[in-house]
Amino acid sequence: MICQSNEVEILAGHVGSDHIHLLVSVPPHLSVSKLVQYIKGNTSRKLQMEYKELNKQIWGQHLWARGYFVASSGNVTDEIIKAYIQNQDLQEKSNSDNFEIG
């Protein structure tokens, strides 16, 4: 919903045990840092509302780490990035943690 309301298209993603990969198409009027701020803030609030025990576990701390990594595609194609995302943690996890919109 966050991406949809900001005209961001999610192309692929993977939820790992301690990180998330997203391949997104972001419109030029939205900075990547603002998108990350929206995603982290809204998901943190929603998770803490749904799972009250999180409030006790992270009291005085943040749910998400402060940093993030961003790279643009170009030299590496979107297909290669999608393949990388979809092959995360294959030895430990099933493909059910991968998602693709579209």
Judging by DSSP bridges, how do beta strands 98-99 and 20-25 pair with one another? Answer: unpaired
> 8 with 27: CB under 8 angstroms?
yes
Is it the case that residue 2 has pLDDT exceeding 60? Answer: yes
Q: How far apart are CA 1 and CA 53, in angstroms?
A: 24
- Residue 22: what residue type? L
pTM: 0.66
Please tell me the total number of residues recorded for the chain in this structure.
102
Nearest-angstrom CA–CA distance, 81 and 16:
16
Report all structural domains of the chain as residue ranges with CATH numbers, in order of start: 2-93 (3.30.70.1290)
Residue 7: what pLDDT? 95
pLDDT of residue 50: 80
pLDDT (0 to 100) of residue 91: 43
pLDDT tens digits for range 45-100: 887 778 777 766 665 566 677 788 888 887 788 888 888 888 876 644 554 556 66
Coil vs helix vs strand at 55: helix
